[in-house]
Amino acid sequence: MTAFKKSQKSATQILERIRESVDKLNEKIDIVIEIQRHGQRNSEAIPDVLDVMTLLSLPDHLRKTAVTLCKIGQATADEVSGQTKRARAVESGYLNQLVLMGYVKKERRGRKAYFYVEKEE
């Protein structure tokens, strides 16, 4: 392989990584826009516990679960999984991670566990 071909391949790889980074940034910007729209449509904004900066600091999989829970309000893992199109067991794990991190509260009612974001007064 010639030096020109090697440098061309290297440049292509760098550009691909830049494109992937830009795509990730665009996804995060879309999340911020959706959060702001949700807060404007609803008289109650996203709770302070899960403000925009906190949501952006979460890994993508947890962020999707947290935003979905904020939209729904109070929900079971099954209800959240219906919105995110992921398995109930996966959402249950993510919701319990958010509970351990202190962003989400969990309340048992009979055999079901309900998750919610506590509103700050």
pTM of the model: 0.63
Q: For the chain, which domains are there?
A: 3-116 (1.10.10.10)
Of the candidates 87, 47, 37, 36, the residue with the CA atom closest to the CA atom of residue 69? 47
What CA–CA distance (Å, rounded) separates 98 from 92? Answer: 10
Q: What are the pLDDT digits (tens) for 48-87? A: 567 777 888 888 899 999 989 988 889 999 999 999 999 9
One-letter amino acid identity for 20? E
Give backbone dihedrals phi and psi of 107, rounded to 5 degrees, phi first.
-135, 130
Q: What are the pLDDT digits (tens) for 9-53? A: 788 888 888 888 887 777 777 766 666 665 554 444 455 567 777
